[in-house]
């Protein structure tokens, strides 16, 4: 019997949730909800869904849902998650988990109090490159992690960026970290996999690379971020760039044995090893070694394509399957609560450091 899934929040990314659930054989979307009835109606019509609501309480009462997907702005996540869990639903929530770690703790506490499963959509870590990286680490190829570099490219000329910059009431303007707050999870959670520290030293800088528009609200949205975290044994460097091209998403992990380079857009995972041949010959052979590694990635991607596993959101599909399986088997969720809270705490530290840096800069002007 399939799990009954409901979705609250029928904005742009809710489409991806419906599509990925429909691709699975162990769950089905039976209802959607949005405060704006037209938004719920258009989604129900486009995906031939049986029910639509503008009242979450009514949907939870009438539909007997097993799982609720929360795809609303993050300020609403704690209240919606609590209502859903009290009604007996497990919860799959979009990132960021909440506006700050205190609110994130409320969501986790509700899950533990009601005995419900909770998962956040850190889907990149379950994409084929993310899983390949995890296997290499488990096999000891990396050795002990020393430093991590996580880069996230964000094209503001896309649909979401245009909507944000064209609407002063867009919900992103109300986030403590504005644009960065909405995508920072994708950068920080990858670093957190290798940096166990809950309270590392943090340096952070941001600026607006695009020209000023004459609108104060829009101008307050910074579009370039750089930060450095120093833990006890591991350091991390993060980048969010809206102007670097191509707009990619990469992860580079330096270890005591080897370095692993992951490109989530091209879906390549390459291990960089130390030269063992004499200097000149080693430099010559190194390029051929890299070529072989990329060729293996290309053939692997082709194989996934032929097996219909080369989807844009394959990682989300795999994460959902794992989450739904943990519900059926009553096992631990794929992403531990402690990991969600640690990422939320690191984001708080980064956003707080950015505010301090801006104040210091203003004081020097």
- Mean pLDDT taken over the chain: 94
Among 34-43, 82-91, 207-216, the least confident range: 207-216
**pLDDT for residue 365:** 63
Domains of the chain: 3-120 (3.40.50.720), 125-315 (3.30.360.10)
pTM here is: 0.94
**pLDDT for residue 361:** 73
What are the tens digits of pLDDT across the range 183-201?
A: 999 999 999 999 999 999 9
Please state the three-class secondary structure of the chain as a single string.
CCEEEEEECCCCCHHHHHHHHHCCCCEEEEEEECCCHHHHHHHHHHCCCCEEECCHHHHHHHHCCCEEEECCCHHHHHHHHHHHHHCCCEEEECCCCCCCHHHHHHHHHHHHHHCCCEEECCHHHHCHHHHHHHHHHHCCCCCCEEEEEEEEECCCCCHHHHHHHCCCCCHHHHCCCHHHHHHHHHHHHHHHCCCCCCCCEEEEEEECCCCCCCCHHHHCCCCEEEEEEECCCCEEEEEEECCCCCCCEEEEEEECCCEEEEECCCCEEEEECCCCCCHHHHHHHHHHHHHHHHHHHHHHHHHHHHCCCCCCCHHHHHHHHHHHHHHHHCCCCCCCHHHHHHHHHHHHHHHHHHHHHHHHHHHHC
């Amino acid at each position: 019997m399939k799990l009954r899934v409901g979705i609250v929040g029928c904005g742009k990314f809710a489409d991806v949730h419906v599509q990925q659930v429909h691709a699975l054989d162990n769950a089905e979307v039976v209802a959607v909800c949005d405060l704006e009835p037209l938004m719920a109606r258009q989604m129900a019509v486009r995906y031939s869904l049986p029910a639509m609501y503008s009242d979450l309480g009514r949907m939870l009462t009438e539909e007997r849902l097993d799982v609720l997907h929360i795809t609303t702005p993050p300020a609403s996540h704690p209240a919606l998650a609590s209502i859903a869990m009290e009604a007996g639903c497990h919860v799959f929530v979009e990132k960021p988990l909440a506006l700050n770690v205190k609110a994130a703790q409320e969501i986790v506490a509700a899950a533990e109090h009601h005995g419900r499963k909770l998962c956040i959509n850190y889907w990149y870590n379950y994409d084929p490159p993310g899983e390949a990286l995890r296997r290499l680490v488990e096999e000891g190829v990396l050795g002990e992690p020393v430093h991590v570099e996580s880069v996230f490219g964000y094209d503001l000329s896309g649909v979401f960026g245009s909507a944000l910059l064209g609407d002063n009431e867009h919900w992103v303007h109300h986030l403590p970290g504005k644009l960065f707050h909405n995508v920072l999870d994708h950068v920080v959670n990858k670093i957190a996999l290798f940096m166990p520290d809950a309270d590392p030293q943090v340096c952070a800088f941001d600026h607006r690379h695009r020209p000023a528009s004459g609108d104060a609200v829009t101008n307050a949205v910074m579009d370039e971020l750089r930060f450095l975290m120093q833990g006890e044994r591991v350091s991390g460097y993060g980048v969010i760039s809206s102007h670097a091209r191509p707009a990619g998403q990469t992860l580079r992990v330096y270890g005591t044995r080897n370095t692993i380079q992951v490109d989530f857009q091209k879906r390549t995972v390459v291990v960089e090893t130390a030269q063992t041949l004499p200097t000149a010959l080693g430099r010559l052979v190194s390029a051929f070694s890299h070529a072989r590694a990329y060729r293996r990635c290309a053939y692997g991607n082709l194989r996934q394509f032929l097996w219909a596993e080369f989807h844009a959101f394959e990682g989300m599909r795999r994460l959902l399957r794992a989450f739904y399986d943990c519900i059926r088997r009553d096992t631990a969720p794929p992403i531990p609560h402690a990991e969600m809270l640690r990422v939320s705490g690191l984001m708080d530290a980064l956003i707080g450091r950015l505010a301090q840096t801006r104040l210091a800069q203003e004081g020097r002007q």
